[in-house]
């Protein structure tokens, strides 16, 4: 056996390893695709204007019972929950 394999890493080796790992994480962050805030906010506004929210009838108007996924469904045992 090699006597160096049983030896604890020195403080400078530990610091080097930490810095290397941190450097690698920073490189991965740099490679991540970015979206400008103006583009992201415009996309969010567009989605909110075009996607109907059934929980906000004051904005979108009343919802028909058949189209409302949150309305009580009268099929089955009459309760709101079914256990299968």
pLDDT at 1: 45
Q: Please give the structure tokens belonging to residue 14.
A: 């530990």
SS percent in the chain: helix, strand, coil, step 5 = 45, 0, 55
Q: Which residue has the higher pLDDT, 77 or 46?
A: 46
Among 14-23, 34-43, 60-69, which is the least confidently predicted range? 60-69
pLDDT tens across 60-83, in order?
A: 777 777 777 777 766 555 556 666
Highest mean pLDDT among 38-42, 52-56, 59-63: 38-42
What is the C-alpha to C-alpha distance for residues 71 and 80, in angstroms, rounded to an integer? Answer: 9
The pTM is what?
0.45
């Amino acid at each position: 056996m090699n006597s160096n394999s049983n030896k604890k890493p020195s403080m400078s080796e530990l610091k080097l390893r930490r810095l290397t790992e941190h450097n690698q994480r920073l490189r991965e962050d740099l490679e991540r695709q970015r979206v400008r805030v103006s583009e992201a906010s415009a996309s969010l506004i567009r989605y909110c204007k075009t996607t109907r929210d059934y929980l906000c009838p004051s904005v979108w108007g009343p919802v028909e019972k058949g189209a409302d996924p949150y309305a009580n469904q009268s099929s089955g045992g009459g309760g709101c929950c079914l256990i299968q």
